[in-house]
Structure 1
Amino acid sequence: MEDASYEGEEEKPSEKAADEKKPRKRKTESVKLTKAKKKKKECFVAQEKQDTAEDKGVEKPKKRRKKKNITDALAASEPKPGCAADLQELLRDHYADKLSIIELEELQLPDSCFLARNDLSHSLSSYLKEICPKWAKVQKNHAIKRSVVLLIICSSALRTIELIKQLTAFKGEGKVLKLFAKHIKVEEQMKLLAKGVAHIGVGTPGRIKALIEKDGLTLDALKYVVLDWNWRDQKLRRMVDIPEVKVDMLKLLETRIIMGCRAGTIKLGLF
């Protein structure tokens, strides 16, 4: 009996020892985990420091400033009516590096050739009535084919049609021709000019110049040239702000129109 009790007592301490050992293992495992986490944190911190150091060393691309286009610039400014000095300056700037001093002087327009400018309060008809008060008599006396008395130069076909509609109150019995390239062949326009007497021509500088060069349109009866100077399109551009239109217009003026202005037979107006 004593032996049996002794054996039972011997077994109990061994179980306690086993129980005591188990939590120690858990503690060591938790310690290892915390150390591993610390190491990971240290690695992340070190990596972040390295990244920031690299970022400092590399220059970031500078942000480009958005350039103001002509639409933005014009939208912020008040409209200003064109004047004779504007056209003179345009001619001078465009031909400054292309022509000699003597040739530039030949392009100089006398002040006497300029008609009253549009102060932005006029419609086309009211402006034409002001600069040509004796239109009824002028149109009655005109009988030359392939030539017009009044030439209105604008930037596009759509603008041409719009201006022709505005001529109703002015033209009287005068015949108006549209002189642009869109959907109309130059040969067709030459036939129309040769067929009967036309009093007013409205169109783009490129097509008008082409008609003059092909001898479909002459300047024999021409008395008035009106530039649609102040009108702006949807992008707020005038005809002189559109490069190809500006070049065509200047070339057209150079084709005997400036010569006629200097001779006193042609008058220029900026509408």
Structure 2
Amino acid sequence: MATTNATTHRGDDLDDDFVLDDLVALSDEDVVQPADADDIAGLLSAEEASEVEGEPSRNNSVSAEKKRKRREKEKERKLKRRKMAEASASSEASSVAAQPPALLANYVSTTQAKTFSKMSDIELADIQIPENSIADTTMWSGSRDLEHLVEFITATLPTLRTRLGQNPKSMGAPTLIFVAAAALRVADVTRVLKDKKLRGEKGGDVAKLFAKHFKLEEHVAQLKRTKIGAAVGTPGRLGKLLENGALSTSALTHIMLDVSHRDAKQRCVLDIPETRDEVFKTVLGSPNVLKGLKQGQIQLVLL
């Protein structure tokens, strides 16, 4: 009877002349033999092959250039949309500023009440700006933007126009304080107010006053040695300079609020809580300024 138990063979149990059959031999060669480099290259795409050989991919370069151009076009579109929004916002803001003094007085007092929300009506009445101290600019029908600021002042504020062309008598004592919401806007307004059409040959300098990049001490020193016809600044920095006396009100006749300009969120200088509070607490609320407004010596202008 044949034995059915399987016999286990070790390597040494094979006969010396044992040869693998062709099928097994071929299979083993496929596993252990490395593929030919030419065969690999044949399986790669042209782009992959060039990368294997260490050459820059032309397709990648083209793709990167297309992405760069797309990014540039998107930036241009965003810039265009922002400018259009600002132009539209300026148009809306001018409709507020173009109202007669009675309505502007109500607008200013209503906005002021937001800053002093805990005050009673009697207390608010003590710090409100009287209607007769708000300039009437209803005769101006043009745009209230920086492009037309020189013409706006010339047409609606002849006294200010004359004074800006005169040689100031004292250091750091402007005839105009222009209040803007942000540093970039301050820089833009400063360039416009330096126009020779306003200053002529004798007019004082225009001070650019904001906290970004400038220490308070630098502005104090500048005002002590400079005769200025106009001071343009953010409410926070203007307030501090009024408080410490570096910015004098001895020659001040006009304060202009930049309500025509809106930021990316469509807010003007009196809409942003932080700047609104600074305007009413430290600029219009400065004792000398408030006194001048109440006595009619200083006019409030809404651009």
Runs of 4+ in 1 over 6 A off after TM superposition: none
Q: Deviations over 1:15-50 (max 9, x none)?
A: xxxxxxxxxxxxxxxxxxxxxxxxxxxxxxxxxxxx
Equivalent residues of 2:135, 2:301 under 8 A apart = yes
Alignment size in residue pairs: 198
**Helix, strand or coil: the match of 2:96?**
coil
Q: Which residue of 2 aligns with 1:144?
A: 170
2: CA distance, partners of 1:143 / 1:131: 25
Task: Report deviation, 1:120.
Answer: 5.8
* 2:128 equivalent in structure 1: 108
Q: Which residue among 250, 255, 262 is the counterpart of 2:294?
A: 262
* Residue type at the aligned position of 1:90: T
TM-aligned CA deviation for residue 240 of structure 1: 1.6
> Residues 25-104 of structure 1: matches in 2 within 5 Å?
79=92, 80-82=95-97, 83=99, 84=104, 85-97=106-118, 99-104=119-124
For the aligned residue pairs, the C-alpha RMSD in angstroms reads 2.6
Give me the whole-angstrom Cα distance separating, in 2, the residues matched to 1:191 and 1:244. 27
Task: Name the residue aligned to 2:214.
Answer: 184
User: Percent same amino acid at aligned positions?
Assistant: 29
1:254 maps to amino acid: G
Structure 1: distance between partners of 2:181 and 2:259: 9
Distance 1:215 1:228, change over 3 A: same
AA partner of residue 142 (structure 1): P
Correspondence list, 1:79-228, <5 A: 79=92, 80-82=95-97, 83=99, 84=104, 85-97=106-118, 99-117=119-137, 121-122=143-144, 123-135=148-160, 137-139=162-164, 140=166, 142-167=168-193, 168=195, 169-172=197-200, 173-228=203-258
8 A Cα contact 1:151 1:226, kept in partner: yes
Structure 1 109/156 Cα, relative in aligned 2: closer, same or farther at 3 Å?
same
Query: Does the aligned pair in 1 maintain the 2:204–2:229 contact within 8 Å?
Result: yes
The superposition leaves residues 130-169 of structure 1 with CA deviations (integer Å, 9 ceiling, x where unpaired) of: 3331446424263022211100000011000111122214
The residue aligned with 2:67 is none
Q: Taking structure 2 as the reference length, what is the TM-score of the superposition?
A: 0.59
Change (3 A) 1:192 1:267: same
Equivalent pair of 1:226/1:270 in contact (CA under 8 Å): yes
Partners of 1:259 and 1:138 in 2: how far apart?
Answer: 21
Offset, 1:259: 2.0
Q: TM-score, normalised by structure 1?
A: 0.66
**Structure 1: 5+ residue stretches without partners:** 1-71
Instruction: Tell which structure's C-alpha radius of gyration is larger.
Output: 1
Deviation per residue, 1:78-131 (Å, 9 max, x gap): 71323412112111343242x344321111222111112465624211222133
